[in-house]
Amino acid sequence: MSRLACRTEESQTLASENEGVRYEPDEKPPFWVALGAGLQAAMIIVAPVVLTVVIVARIADQPESYITWGVFAALLVSGITTVMQAVRVGRVGAGHVLIMGTSGAFIAVCVAALMEAGPATMASLILVSSLIQFLLAARLSLLRRIFTPVVSGTVIMLIAATVMPVIFDTLHQGPEGVSSAAAPVSALATLVVVAVLVLRGPPAWRLWSPVIGIIIGSAVAAPFGLYDVQGILDAAWISAPLGSWPGLDITPGVEFWALLPAFVVVTLVGAIETIGDGVAIQRVSRRKPRATDFRVVQGALNADGVGNFLSGVGGTLPNTTYSSSISLAEVTGIGARRVGIIIGIIFLAVAFFPKFTALLIAIPPPVAAAYLTVLIGMLFLQGMKIVIQDGVDHRKAIVAGLAFWIGTGFQNGWIFPDLLGEGFLGVLLGNGMTSGALVAVIMMVFLELTGPRRKQLRVPLDMDALPQLSDFLSGFAKRAGWNATSSQRLVLVGEETLTSMLLDEADEPKRLIVSARVGAGGAELEFVSAAGEENLEDRLAYLGEKPDTDDGEEISFHLLRHYASSVRHQKYHDVDIVTVQVEASR
């Protein structure tokens, strides 16, 4: 097969159609369609947002007044930040439907903080650790070689692996005295209905599959006594417990400093999860998927940081993006921002109507678990796609494989449970997402530190830099022992990359940093400049097979695609990074 006929694996992915997407982020579905999608998403997400706060507070023996406040504040923060993710205020927000909610990763550290120091100290810990996310978002481009698609995809798979045991445990939950057939029958009814509608249902029915599955599952569960209406009857219609705010501890003591490292580590793990969600939501929200826009990821991280900051101010558990956002978008085929706004508004409304919250919480656990099994299963596959689409060699394979299984082992208590105990290491490594993410990050840092040294060139971003760039790449090829053909190919790729980047630049002068290092079977070139608007990777993916000879720009793109074995363009706020792989002749 000729090189011109070959496309990079990423370009092939980009060019493929995603026929399941009915509405993209910028499109406006009919109001009733958007409302239906928003309601069903809220039905799924409100329960874990509320229950996570309740579980943590009860484990830590907190009074009912704090539980009431914690639930109220969590719903307010979740609503505000879900809207913020959808509408994208400046550099805050992804501009996609990323649902925000209470973070399960913080359960262990928040329980420890509440038991050892109380709600005010926990609030201060959350507020301080949230600043890490703003710093990470601002400097994400500097960490691009660490927080790679392999790391993000592996963390998403670990999220699924750590959540599924909890979901499976809820499959058989129910009040005492209920028939042993109640849980399996209602769960099976829900699972069959959702699966059939997703697999074979028409688009309109597929859109409503979550609601239909939950309604039928609840209807099957009701005669067995699984649907508890007493909690709904006892709940108030309207309530706003403003007098229960726990406040902030502005004079941190020993407990604060002892718990701060654990909060920072879990915050970083939550940030990695958000990075993975920010990458994945772009892949499932467009008919013609584009190259990942890391400005979207930075916006998601900033919104996540705002959520954690507000959670600290409000004295409730930290916020995070819910990975089920990706599964819901994939199941319903709706990625329109309007849905995210509706979901956020519903959260805000529910905060003031405890009766409605009780209605959602009353959904039988086996019914909710059956549907979540479908969502989490699809989430796991999204993580696999992110890893595979980045290209898997032996190094990436061992990073993903070891990180996933070590994380799974720690999560399930299979790896040295007696040695970890219940102290700091037990809290840190007992969560599979935390331990797996740490393994992946450590391995990526090791690969970066032990890899070949990069040669670097700094020049102005203009055509006058071509001679310097050619001399730099020729010298690099000579030192690497390349033959004349490979050396010429490397120089041509460098020249065409520079030319292509200039096509999207504004009039003001900018700097270009070019780095080169020897890789497996060739070389890796990296071009770093100030940000433009067009994504070079997208342009290459959608080129025709034959260049337009009257269009000099298109000829340049064709030459780059012809001579480079792969091209990856990462766009961040204020910086563009183009990574090009060039093979050496055998």
Gap between the Cα atoms of 197 and 40, Å rounded: 15
Domain enclosing residue 256, as ranges: 24-389
- pLDDT tens digits, residue range 306-359? 999 999 998 898 988 887 787 777 777 788 888 889 999 999 988 888 777 677
Would residue 289 count as lying in a domain? yes
Is 200 within 8 Å of 184 (Cβ atoms)? no
In the predicted structure, residue 541 carries a pLDDT above the cut 70: no
- Structural domain includes residue 438: no
Domain boundary residue, one of 357, 389, 421: 389
- The answer to whether residue 237 is domain-embedded is yes
Is residue 385 domain-shared with residue 489, that is, in the same domain? no
- Are 363 and 477 within one domain? no
> What's the rounded mean pLDDT across residues 472-481?
88
Determine contact, residues 134/267, Cβ cutoff 8 Å: no
pLDDT band per the 50, 70, 90 thresholds, residue 201: confident
Same domain, 381 and 459: no
Inside any domain, residue 485: yes
Domains of the chain: total: 2
Higher per-residue pLDDT: 40 or 76? 76
Helix (H, G, I), strand (E, B) or coil at 1: coil
- 276 and 155 assigned to the same domain: yes
pLDDT higher at 146 or 101: 101
Please give the pLDDT value at position 8: 39
Q: Identify the weakest region by mean pLDDT among 66-80, 205-219, 476-490, 542-556.
A: 542-556
pLDDT by residue (tens digit) across 151-180?
878 877 887 777 777 677 767 766 666 777
398 in any annotated domain: no
Residue at 184 is within a domain: yes
pLDDT higher for 45 or 305? 305
Per residue, what are the HEC states of 500-545?
HHHCCCCCCCCEEEEEEEEECCEEEEEEEECCCCCCHHHHHHCCCC
On whether the CB atoms of residues 330 and 284 are closer than 8 A, the answer is yes
pLDDT for 15 equals 43
Q: What is the pLDDT of residue 586?
A: 56
Report the SS3 class of residue 586.
coil
Residue 544 has pLDDT above 80, yes or no: no
Tell me: the pLDDT tens digits for 251-298?
777 777 777 776 877 787 778 778 878 888 888 888 776 777 888 888
Domain boundary pick from 360, 389, 418: 389
In the predicted model, is pLDDT for residue 204 greater than 70?
A: no
Higher pLDDT among residues 24 and 542, named by residue: 24
Mean pLDDT of the chain: 78
Residues 382 and 460 in one domain: no
Is 125 domain-assigned? yes
134 and 245 share a domain?
yes
Contact (Cβ atoms closer than 8 angstroms) between residue 514 and residue 526: yes
460 and 334, same domain (yes or no): no
pLDDT at 472 over 60: yes
- Mean local confidence (pLDDT), 72-94: 90
Task: Identify the CATH number of the domain in which residue 577 sits.
Answer: 3.30.565.10
Residue at 101 is within a domain: yes
- Show which of 374, 389, 404 is a domain's final residue: 389
Examine the domain organization and report whether 505 and 364 are in the same domain.
no
pLDDT tens-digit series, residues 423-458:
656 656 666 777 888 888 888 888 888 877 888 888
Query: Which two structure tokens, joined as six digits, stand for 296?
Result: 């979207």
With a pLDDT cut of 90, the percent of the chain lying above it is 6
One domain, residues 378 and 460: no
Pair of tokens at residue 258: 């002892």
